[in-house]
């Protein structure tokens, strides 16, 4: 049965046409993947289906019936559930409280019911979640699960998942996929937005490729190849980015010594000039604490951090920045940008200080920003647009542009390619590799093991707040690393 049919959908934002006469349909019992570059209009199309954005043209049929003007409530009643790319959780609330908000349960008396529902559903779908945990304490992976739960608890028939796997560990991803397959057997329809081609081949039945707001084609997954999809998406196939030759000089840039605080237990590590040190681990095992301690966002109680031999333990982010530390945070929307400020202003968040005196050099900022937008290929090329309107990939390019433009000595990158399309991913990797060739020491924290093994000169593995081993490329073996991560 046809669950959804969207015909001739057009959506414009000012001069940008996000979706340009898009046709899309979803059958019951199918997983339909939506693929396309950052900014191709995938999220916009699905937000239209979820009633969050009204289209300028086109019509929507759900179960064969035309629905007219949608709003979120109406879409929800029609069985459309959406899990957003960026989390929409109240950080100070517990998991159960967030669920209550989403499910519109009355507050009184339902907390216990919701808690047991959470336990039940999350167990059925293989996600381990404590209903009483406060969201602010959860890792990105765990937060994504809360978002999934919101929709799963509502029993939606039409499930939209906007890049749900970007924050999941390989295990969690497998679990999610078996959940999706189970839903499919029950006759539900799933739209899966993803940038990972291998996922499409793992679970999807059909795939629709969008490019600059237009449908390139809709194909059965059995009948296409990965490189065909890449060509459909960006017009060419992509080279693989690999680590550069190991650096010759070996001055130590970052040195962490016996760091213990919060979840961290006796962490020691070193990154040298021009070296890429990877950090592998399942999300929530102390990576965030480690990174935040190094960049000065978290007080360290025990242990020392040195930058080129200088003790920088517990220095403010500003001093660290002045000493040449750059940081690409994991939660780029929550921590990397000020959504209400323009792209130019966001790019200037660091360098504005070096320009002019007391006054803000506004012209200088826009000029510099335009240059950065050009060289880092940030689209659309309008420096005065609020940064909150950028697509995920462009937000990340903007953060990279800001951080790398300062010629840092040390770059700390936390999940920098998460949620990026294949072109952007390879661009960001390229930028990082280029930066390391210039002699910058790079501490590369990621949950994508393939990426880590391809890029790192050495790979540290973290588990329960401890570094359980540091491997050389000869020793890279997914099986072995997987075991170390779970130890």
Partner 1 sequence: MRLERSKRRNGVLTRLIFSFLAVLVASMIYMLQGVDPLDVFSALISAFTTKVGFSELLVRMIPLLLISSGLALCFRMKFWNIGAEGQYIVGAMAAFLAVESTRQPIVALLSAFAAGAVLAVPPALMKSRLGVNEVLSTLMIYYVVYWVFQYLIHGPWKAREKVGEVSYGGFAHTSIIPAELGTVPGTRISPVMLFLALSSAVLIYFVMERTKLGFEIKAFGGNPKAAEISGMSYFRTAALTMMISGGLAGLAGAGDLLAIQHRLIPEFPCGYGFTGIITAWLGGTSPLGLIAANMFFGGLLVGGEEMMIVYSLPFGAINVFNGLILMFVAAGEFLTRYRAR
Ligand X SMILES: Nc1ncnc2c1ncn2[C@@H]1O[C@H](COP(=O)(O)OP(=O)(O)OP(=O)(O)O)[C@@H](O)[C@H]1O
List of residues contacting ligand X (CB under 6 A): 13, 16, 18, 36, 38-44, 85, 380, 389-393, 421
Specify the residue for token string 């840039």: 253
Least distance (Å) between residue 466 CB and partner 1: 26
Least distance (Å) between residue 211 CB and ligand X: 10
46 binds partner 1 (CB under 8 A): no
- Residue 295 to residue 307: CA distance in whole angstroms: 11
15 binds partner 1 (CB under 8 A): no
Least distance (Å) between residue 121 CB and partner 1: 20
CB 348 within 8 A of CB 371: no
- Residue 233 to residue 312: CA distance in whole angstroms: 45
356 binds partner 1 (CB under 8 A): yes
Q: Which residues have CB under 8 Å from 481's CB, separation 6+?
A: 280, 449, 453, 459, 461, 471
93 binds partner 1 (CB under 8 A): no
Least distance (Å) between residue 283 CB and ligand X: 20
> Which residues within the stretch 19-78 sit at the binding site for Mg ion (CB under 5 A)?
43
352 binds partner 1 (CB under 8 A): yes
CB nearer to Mg ion: pick between 85 and 165: 85
> Which residues within the stretch 281-300 sit at the binding site for partner 1 (CB under 8 A)?
295, 297
Member of 64, 187, 235, 334 binding partner 1 (CB under 8 A): 334
136 binds partner 1 (CB under 8 A): no
Neighbour-count burial for 155-168, b at 16+ CB within 10 Å, e otherwise: ebbbbbbbbbbbbb
Q: Which residues have CB under 8 Å from 129's CB, separation 6+?
A: 95, 118, 119, 122, 142, 145, 146, 149
CB 147 within 8 A of CB 83: yes
CB 347 within 8 A of CB 395: no
CB nearer to ligand X: pick between 188 and 397: 397
Q: Measuring CA to CA, which residue among 460, 463, 467 is closest to residue 271?
A: 460
CB 157 within 8 A of CB 151: no
300 by Cβ neighbours in 10 Å (0-12 / 13-18 / 19+) ranks as buried
Q: Measuring CA to CA, which residue among 336, 36, 22 is closest to residue 162?
A: 36
CB nearer to Mg ion: pick between 127 and 193: 193
CB 195 within 8 A of CB 421: yes
Member of 212, 214, 265, 362 binding partner 1 (CB under 8 A): 362
316 binds partner 1 (CB under 8 A): yes
The region of 206-214, 267-275, 320-328, 368-376 touching partner 1 under the rule CB under 8 A is 320-328
> Choosing among Mg ion, ligand X, partner 1, none, which partner's interface includes residue 102 (Cβ < 5 to 8 Å by kind)?
partner 1
CB nearer to partner 1: pick between 7 and 335: 335
318 binds partner 1 (CB under 8 A): yes
Residues in contact with partner 1 by CB under 8 A are 71-73, 88, 101-102, 104, 295, 297, 316-318, 320-322, 327, 329, 334-341, 345, 348-350, 352-353, 356, 358-360, 362
Residues in contact with Mg ion by CB under 5 A are 43, 85
């Amino acid at each position: 049965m046809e669950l959804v049919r969207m015909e001739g959908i057009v959506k414009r934002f000012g001069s940008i046409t996000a979706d340009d006469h898009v046709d899309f349909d979803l059958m019951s019992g199918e997983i339909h993947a939506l693929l396309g570059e950052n900014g191709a209009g995938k999220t916009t199309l699905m937000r239209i289906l979820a009633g969050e954005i009204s289209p300028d043209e086109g019509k929507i049929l759900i179960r064969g019936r035309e629905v007219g003007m949608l709003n979120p409530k109406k879409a929800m009643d029609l069985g459309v559930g959406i899990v957003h790319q960026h989390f929409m959780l109240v950080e100070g609330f517990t998991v159960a409280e967030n669920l209550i908000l989403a499910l519109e349960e009355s507050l009184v008396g339902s907390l216990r019911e919701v808690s047991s529902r959470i336990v039940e559903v999350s167990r059925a779908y293989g996600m381990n979640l404590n209903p009483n945990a406060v969201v602010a304490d959860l890792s990105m992976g765990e937060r994504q699960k809360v978002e999934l739960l919101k929709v799963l608890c509502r029993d939606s028939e039409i499930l939209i998942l906007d890049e749900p796997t970007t924050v999941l560990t390989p295990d969690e991803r497998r679990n999610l996929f078996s959940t999706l397959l189970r839903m499919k057997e029950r006759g539900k329809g799933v739209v899966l937005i993803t940038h990972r081609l291998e996922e499409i081949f793992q679970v999807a039945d059909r795939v629709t490729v969008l490019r600059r707001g237009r449908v390139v084609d809709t194909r059965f997954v059995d009948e296409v190849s990965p490189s065909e999809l890449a060509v459909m998406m960006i017009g060419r196939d992509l080279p693989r980015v690999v680590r550069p030759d190991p650096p010759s000089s070996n001055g130590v840039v970052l040195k962490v010594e016996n760091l213990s605080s919060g979840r961290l237990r006796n962490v020691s590590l070193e990154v040298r000039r021009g070296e890429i040190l990877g950090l592998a681990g399942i999300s929530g095992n102390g990576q965030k604490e480690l990174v935040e301690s190094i960049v000065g966002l978290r007080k360290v109680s025990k242990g020392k951090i040195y930058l080129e031999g200088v003790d920088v333990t517990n220095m403010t982010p500003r001093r660290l920045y002045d000493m040449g530390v750059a940081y690409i945070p994991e939660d780029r929307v929550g921590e990397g940008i000020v959504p209400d400020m323009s792209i130019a202003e966001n790019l200037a968040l660091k360098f504005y200080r070096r320009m002019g005196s007391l006054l803000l050099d506004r012209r200088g900022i826009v000029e510099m920003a335009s240059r950065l937008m050009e060289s880092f290929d940030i689209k659309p090329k309008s420096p005065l647009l609020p940064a909150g309107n950028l697509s995920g990939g462009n937000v990340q390019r903007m953060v990279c542009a800001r951080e790398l433009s300062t010629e840092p000595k040390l770059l700390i990158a936390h999940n920098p390619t998460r949620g990026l399309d294949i072109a952007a991913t390879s661009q960001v990797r390229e930028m990082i590799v280029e930066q390391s060739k210039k002699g910058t020491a790079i501490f590369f924290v990621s949950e994508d093991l393939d990426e880590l093994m391809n890029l790192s000169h050495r790979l540290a593995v973290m588990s329960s707040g401890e570094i359980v081993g540091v491997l050389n490329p000869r020793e890279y073996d997914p099986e072995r690393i997987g075991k170390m991560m779970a130890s």
